């Protein structure tokens, strides 16, 4: 009885709420880092029309825009260095996306108050559906991706919990897994030394999702994935956050990299939980002293 009532509610929300529509079963997916598709109602929102995105690009300024050529191989170990585009007049370049073979990221849109509110709305709406305490979602960030037909996002992993909301256009999102613990460790080490999570080989595919307007996916931290656009311009929003799970893991990794630079061979996160907790405690204190832990802010690439 309760279940059918809830299902009706969810169905009714699908076209009217901008956030991912998830129920309490999503909590397990979050804890187990399991890729999960969801519907959302953000397509058609005036805050994310092509024109609004173009204007937001101007408001944020060149320092918050990343631009690349659209057509790239699915594996690109040089972190995109060979395909960088010059940002001249970002709003005009975004308006011309249908024909100019470009791929734009608007970084940290939460710098703008309107879009900070949007990031909170999306994450807190998702949290309410999942039964998740919104206070556990820290370092909330938002990214808008605007790309030409045929664009490719090379295989990579992120350290954040990410929610990709497709707004316009169709894309195929592939997920993979690391071939071994050693392979994962090698890629994590490369992440903290400038790879931004870009993989140098395409992992075995474990899942593929077709995403169109109104569809989205939860992309767990440390999970390889890649994206290929269809034959139309793609607009999407990604919102990210850290909770204790990935914040602790990333802090231990950052700590371990410091030890490696001193010639030591630290234990991998998860192998020695008591030691992990000591490292996290140290890094939290260090981070408070230095205001934040040094490391890549985000790979922000979908």
- Binding site residues, Fe ion, CB under 5 A: 158, 302
Supply the minimum distance, in Å, between the C-beta of residue 207 and Fe ion: 14
C-beta closer to Fe ion: residue 127 or 199:
199
Between 17 and 162, whose beta carbon lies closer to Fe ion?
162
Distance between CA atoms of residues 132 and 239, nearest Å: 16
Residue with smaller CB distance to Fe ion, 65 or 154: 154
What lies within 8 Å, CB to CB, of 39 at 6+ separation is: 14, 20, 21, 214, 215, 216
Residue in 143, 139, 133 with CA at minimum distance from that of residue 164? 143
- For residue 260, give every residue at least 6 positions away whose Cβ sits within 8 Å of its Cβ, in sequence order, or none: 189, 266
Least Å distance, CB 293 to Fe ion, is 21
CB of 60 to Fe ion, least distance (A): 20
- First CA to last CA distance, the chain: 39
Nearer to Fe ion, 80 or 266 (CB): 80
> To the nearest whole angstrom, how small is the minimum distance from the Cβ of residue 260 to Fe ion?
25
**Whose CB is nearest to Fe ion?**
302
Report DSSP state, residue 97.
T
3-class secondary structure, 65: strand
Q: Measured from the CB atom, is 233 or 238 closer to Fe ion?
A: 238
Nearer to Fe ion, 161 or 279 (CB): 161
Region of 123 on the Ramachandran plot (φ > 0 left; ψ -120 to 50 alpha; else beta): alpha
Could you give phi then psi for residue 138, rounded to 5 degrees? -105, 165
**Least distance in angstroms from the C-beta of 268 to Fe ion:** 23
Nearer to Fe ion by C-beta: 13 or 29?
29
Q: Which two tokens stand for residue 26?
A: 């999503």
How distant, in Å, are the alpha carbons of 142, 200, 224 from that of 183?
Answer: 29, 11, 12
- The answer to whether 142 and 238 are in contact (CB under 8 A) is yes
List, as one string, the DSSP characters of 138-187.
EEEEEEEEEE-TT-EEEEE--SSEEEEEEEES-EEEEEEE-SSHHHHHHH
Instruction: Name which of 158 and 249 has its Cβ closer to Fe ion.
Output: 158
Distances (CA, A) of 101 to 10, 72, 231, 269: 38, 11, 12, 41
CB of 85 to Fe ion, least distance (A): 19
**Shortest approach of Fe ion to residue 96 CB, angstroms?**
25
Angle at 236 between CA 12 and CA 117, to 5 degrees: 70
Q: How far is the CB of 232 from Fe ion (least distance, A)?
A: 21
């Amino acid at each position: 009885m309760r279940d059918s009532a809830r299902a009706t509610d969810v169905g009714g929300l699908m076209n009217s709420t901008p956030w991912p529509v998830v129920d309490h079963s999503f909590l397990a997916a979050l804890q187990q880092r399991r890729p999960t598709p969801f519907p959302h109602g953000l397509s058609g929102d005036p805050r994310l029309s092509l024109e609004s995105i173009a204007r937001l690009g101007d408001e944020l300024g060149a320092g918050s825009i990343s631009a690349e050529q659209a057509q790239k191989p699915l594996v690109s170990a040089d972190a995109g260095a060979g395909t960088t585009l010059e940002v001249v007049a970002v709003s005009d370049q975004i308006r011309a996306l249908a024909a100019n073979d470009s791929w734009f990221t608007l970084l940290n849109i939460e710098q703008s108050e309107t879009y900070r509110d949007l990031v909170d709305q999306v994450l807190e709406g998702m949290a309410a559906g999942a039964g998740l305490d919104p206070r556990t979602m820290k370092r909330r960030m938002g990214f808008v991706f605007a790309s030409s037909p045929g664009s490719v996002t090379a295989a990579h992993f992120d350290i954040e919990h990410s929610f990709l909301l497709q707004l316009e256009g169709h894309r195929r999102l592939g997920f993979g897994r690391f071939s071994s613990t050693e392979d994962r460790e090698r890629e994590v080490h490369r992440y903290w030394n400038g790879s931004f999570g870009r993989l140098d080989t395409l992992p075995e595919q474990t899942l593929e999702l077709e995403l169109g307007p109104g569809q989205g996916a939860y992309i767990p931290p440390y999970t390889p994935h890649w994206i290929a656009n269809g034959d139309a311009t793609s607009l999407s929003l990604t919102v990210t956050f850290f909770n204790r799970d990935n914040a602790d893991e990333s802090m231990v990794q950052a700590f371990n990299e410091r030890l490696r630079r001193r010639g030591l061979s630290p234990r991998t996160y998860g192998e020695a939980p008591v030691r992990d907790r000591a490292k996290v405690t140290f890094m939290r204190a260090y981070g408070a002293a230095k205001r934040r832990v040094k490391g890549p802010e985000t790979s922000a690439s979908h």
